[in-house]
Structure 1
Amino acid sequence: MSRRGGRGPLSRFGWVMLALIVIGVGGFLSMLSFGPAEVVVPEVTAPPRQAAAGSSAALAMPIAGYPATALHRDWGDPREGGKRKHQGIDLMAPSGTPVVAALPGTVEKLFDSERGGHTLYIRSLDRRWSLYYAHLKGYAPDVAEGQRVARGQVVGYVGDTGNAGAGNTHLHFGVSWMRAGDRWYQGEPVDPYPLLAGKTASS
């Protein structure tokens, strides 16, 4: 007895239509997002090969009128009998010589330490760089933590405080590359010499 009224098996056309519907639904579901995909941000482990704030032209000489020809590269020199290495550059100058902000930024910390004596930290406006000034005789009268400073603005004076040694007046100048969340005493030190070499006293 034949079956009629659409109750029999699907026709070939019906099977084809069903397959197309399944494929279409599957494709649609594959385009749906069921939650944010995990985004892996690679950790940067070394500072970019550039000077502070983007180029070496942005970094002013940290002692007013200091000739680039007088710079001496002492990065990595042994200190304290080899217990640590020098991470900065020493600029020899008479006591009281004005020290200036080498970058526009914010005075992040004024700090007295056994090694550095009167020290000052300036964070660049983009917060990626920190400038460290040590062995200061004192700070400029209007300098305070949280204060914005312009490039070339006097922030302190050369001295011999800390472990510099009496009469050994100089500025220890350090540059550090800062990661997000780094505080004033953190960061990765960068050799300042190539950032300052070749500059004129007014640059």
Structure 2
Amino acid sequence: MTAPVAISQPSAAPAGDTPAGVDLDEDGRYDLAWPLTLGQRGEDAYGSGAFGASRDGGRRRHNGLDLVAPVGAPIRAPISGIVTRVGQAYSGEPELQFVEITSPTTRYSARVFYVGPSRAPGAQVTAGEIIGRAQDLGRRYASGMTNHVHVEFADHRGAVLDPSAVLPAFPRRSKA
């Protein structure tokens, strides 16, 4: 297992574990925020957690961004909106779940996979609010995969978006 990859974006956000957020509509609440700030999943036995990374021997591309998440870590909503769906990450495997949130402000939808949800469909959430806890990927994958959550974004037409291009600058962590 390799160390997390720092997401190289400048940031004026404070160091620490509180996700950086941005208030687009100036209502005093975040509209976009990082689910957690421990870094991007680097290269491991199963590949890279980067958006667009090769999958299945190059037959497809990774449609999300994997963020390092220890089992049980609190996971925060990446966008403000309504929880539109909670479901199984893999058909027939209820152990690993996802939460989908749709934002009327940004017109984006976001899905966070491998999270034990604490919010149900219909719930209103604010970006940065805890929506669940990171699940154990060891339930599905043998050793060699860094535990993480997978974050996907889509626009109102369903076009896949790079989460690191949508979310605010990634907060720098202190080196203390």
Q: Settle same-fold status: TM greater than 0.5.
A: yes
> 1:192 corresponds to which residue?
163
Q: Equivalent of 1:71, from 40, 43, 52?
A: 40
Q: Which has the higher contact order (CA 8 A, sep 6+)?
A: 2
> 2:7 corresponds to which residue?
none
> 2:149 corresponds to which residue?
171
> 1:61 corresponds to which residue?
34
Q: How many residues align?
A: 136
Say yes or no: does 1:90 pair with 2:71.
no
Q: Separation in 2 of the partners of 1:193 and 1:166?
A: 28
SS of the aligned residue for 2:57 comes to: coil
| Structure 1 ranges of 4+ moved more than 6 A | none
**Conserved in 2, the CA contact under 8 Å of 1:114 and 1:162?**
no
SS of the aligned residue for 2:166 comes to: helix
> 2:123 corresponds to which residue?
147
**Conserved in 2, the CA contact under 8 Å of 1:99 and 1:157?**
yes
Output the TM-score relative to the length of structure 2.
0.65
Instruction: Provide the identity percentage.
Output: 29
Kindly report the root-mean-square deviation, in angstroms, between the aligned alpha carbons of the 2 structures.
3.1
> 1:132 corresponds to which residue?
111
Higher percent of residues as helix: 1
Q: Separation in 1 of the partners of 2:84 and 2:138?
A: 20
Which one has the largest radius of gyration?
Answer: 1
> 1:118 corresponds to which residue?
97
Gaps of 5+ in 2: 1-21, 42-48
List per-residue Cα deviations over 1:46-84 (Å, max 9, x = no partner): xxxxxx9859x8421112xx15xx336711111122222
Output the TM-score relative to the length of structure 1.
0.57
- The AA in structure 2 aligned to 1:131 is A
Q: Separation in 2 of the partners of 1:90 and 1:196?
A: 14
SS of the aligned residue for 1:81 comes to: helix
